[in-house]
Amino acid sequence: MLGAWYYPNESGAYRAGHRRNDMKTLFISAMASLIAMGVAAASPGEDLDALFEEYWTNEMRENPFTATRSGVRDYNAEVRLVAPADFERRTQKAELFLERLNEVNREGLSDSQALSADLLEFILEHDIVLAEYDRWRIPFLADTGFHTNFGYTVDATTFRSEKDYEDYLGRLGKLPEFIDQNIANMRRGLEDGFSQPKEILANIMPSFRAQIKDNAAAHPYYAPFTSMPQSISARRQAVLKEAGRAVIADEVIPAFQRALSFMEEEYLPGARDTLGADKLPNGKDYYAALVRYYTTLDDVTPDGVHKIGLKEVARIRREMDAVIEETGFEGSFQEFVEYLRTDEQFYPTTPQALLERAAWISKDIDGRLPAFFGKLPRQPYSVEPVPAEIAPNYTTGRYIGAPADADRGGQYWVNTYALDKRPFYSLTALTLHEAVPGHHFQNALALEIENAPEFRKEFYPHAFGEGWGLYSEKLGVEMGVYGTPYDHFGRLSYEMWRACRLVIDTGIHSKGWTREQAIDYLASNTALSLHNVQTEVDRYIAWPGQALAYKMGELKIWELRTNAEKQLGDRFDIREFHNVILNGGGLPLELLSSQVDKYILETKAE
């Protein structure tokens, strides 16, 4: 980037009384001086902006699937390269970016630039630390992974022109290489003893089998060819459709078949018999690093989190007992939970009934938002069922974001598989968390941040994101959206679920807990269906540390709010507070704390 040009000061060089020739002479002299000195050096802010732009461009180039989901279309014909050398190159690049970032003089930066610099520093430091553990050897979790994530990319791809389809065909053609590289990485993991636990694999295998279709036209990846823009001629549409069918049938499905065969013949029998992450090579340090990353707190330890979890479980249990008494139910806690799990009145009879209830709750919340938020996002969202091929071992619901220029808005996914395990009484809390004012709200608002680098709009620190989702569930009490004591118990059950995560995740990955011990703990403390209990515990086993983000983040946000209310008294405005939390995008909790402290000081000074 060129540095700023400096022009002669009018009050000096162009003072009154100069003749035209004198002015010309002065101008030539000044320009000669500039030329002799060279272009003026860029300011620290300009250097930083250039670094941000270069970092984002590199991220998009290295992660084509993420680029598509972020609305960057330049790499729509590419797939991510995931050979070990590719990860090594990315780490080296991160080290260079961090070195350059640390060389920037941060004095005189705008508040936004300084915040962006702190955020990028957090990202790069954790990328470098976690790279030491070669996590690419385990490229899948309990309900998602390299074999399913491409589907999210398809949903985010725009199909408006012939080039969009040509790019998509190019990407499909490269997908087998991506799959084969992941197979090689998993094979390396087996050799190193760095794999998913054998005990949870049986429930994950269906997601691999679901990628195999006898008819290529029935594969989800063929869906873009079933409805094509009229701007593409009928003859050209036919050519593109045949090319899509051929590449899926001849290349993509066989690659997924190789992945399935590998999983059945090599991975399943060769996976480790241990359970916790601390049993992996260098596992104790690995899990401690994950705890710091997912909570975005530097001074947190697995044991400390475990103790917080036990305390929260006890507190929430007291609140649950009070709600049971309010319902008039006569019986024990476990009898009440069994009543909720088995009585037909609490469950939908059709997928459409569940989706319609979720949609109604969503619109009810929409109408209440202005009283609590000063800024509402422009992007809409829809209520959708979880895709059938991944639903059996998928979580209850999830939000799928969309870039600002996508053909559709965000998607609130509701799992309609096994309807007798999807109670209505939990649906309000789920909607508050995944849709509004939870994940859709925060993601859509992040896309609207002004005068900020792109990476800030896209970064999703788990403790902030999931902490806000859980905060939103409890905010629903103030919003008045819990209609019955059963709905309120469902919310408490969800909060208990997240508190139990603190105990279970640290129990499994640092204290030697068994899978059955974790299942019993979650089942005995929540009203979650037993199917959900099993899928959730498997999720925590497969994804160490991530489950800690929810409760740790929520506790911090409530701590910040309580402090702001105490400090500001009558000047506290819930709409302004929520603006401070959300309008800067996703932040690590320590950076979020500094933003709230600044808001308190500025409000006091008004």
Q: H-helix or E-strand containing 473?
A: helix 462-479
On the question of pLDDT at 18 being above 70, the answer is: no
Angle between helices 462-479 and 439-446 (to 10 degrees): 120
pLDDT band (50, 70, 90) for residue 10: very low
Helix ranges (H only) for 278-350 are: 283-295, 302-327, 333-342
**Token pair 């999720």: residue:** 539
Question: Among the listed ranges 201-205, 269-273, 393-397, which one has the minimum average pLDDT value?
Answer: 393-397
| Distance separating alpha carbons of residues 585 and 449, to the nearest angstrom | 7
Q: Please state the φ and ψ torsions of residue 429, each to the nearest 5 degrees.
A: -65, -40
Q: Are 76 and 168 in contact (CB under 8 A)?
A: yes
pTM, whole model, 2 decimals? Answer: 0.88
> Are β-strands 397-400 and 410-414 bridged in parallel, bridged antiparallel, or unpaired?
antiparallel
**What pLDDT band is residue 389 in, cutting at 50, 70 and 90?**
confident
Residue 19 has pLDDT above 70, yes or no: no
Mean pLDDT of 529-547: 94
Nearest Cα residue to 139 out of 587, 542, 455: 542
Residue 451 has what pLDDT?
Answer: 87
CA 276 to chain centre: 23
Cβ neighbours, 10 Å, residue 106: 14
Q: Is the pLDDT of residue 435 over 70?
A: yes
Distance (Å, rounded) from C-alpha 442 to C-alpha 475? 14
In which residue are the tokens 């050897």 written?
137
Query: 397-400 and 381-385 as β-strands: parallel, antiparallel, unpaired?
Result: unpaired
Contacts of 252 (CB under 8 A, 6+ apart): 172, 175, 176, 219, 221
Q: At what angle do helices 302-327 and 333-342 cross, to 10 degrees?
A: 80
The mean per-residue pLDDT over the stretch 381-403 comes to 89
Give yes or no for residue 4 having a pLDDT over 70. no
545: left (phi over 0), alpha (psi -120 to 50) or beta: left
Mean pLDDT over residues 303-314, rounded?
98
Other Cβ atoms less than 10 A from the Cβ of 596: the count is: 20
For residue 42, what pLDDT is reported?
A: 66
Residue 12: is its pLDDT beyond 60? Answer: no
Task: Output the pLDDT for position 39.
Answer: 47
The share of the chain scoring above pLDDT 90, in percent, equals: 85
Q: Which of 232-241, 445-454, 501-510, 594-603 has the lowest mean pLDDT?
A: 445-454
Q: Quick check: 597 pLDDT over 60?
A: yes
- Span 190-199, mean pLDDT? 98
Find out whether 414 and 385 touch, Cβ atoms under 8 Å.
Answer: yes
Query: Given this model, what pLDDT does residue 41 score?
Result: 55
Query: Given this model, what pLDDT does residue 235 score?
Result: 97
Q: Has residue 306 got a pLDDT over 80?
A: yes
Average pLDDT rounded to a whole number, residues 285-291 = 98
DSSP assignment letter at 344: G
pLDDT digit string, tens, across residues 239-264: 999 999 999 999 999 999 999 999 99
pLDDT at 406 (0 to 100):
76
Is residue 549 within 8 A of residue 463, CB to CB? The reply is: yes
User: Quick one: tokens of 111?
Assistant: 């508040």
Contact 253, 173 (CB under 8 A): no
Tell me the average pLDDT of the chain: 92
- 453 by Cβ neighbours in 10 Å (0-12 / 13-18 / 19+) ranks as buried
If one compares 571 and 36, the residue with the highest pLDDT of the two is 571
Q: What angle do CA 302, 304, 309 make, to 5 degrees?
A: 95
Q: What does the domain layout of the chain look like in residue ranges?
A: 1-41, 135-273, 286-554
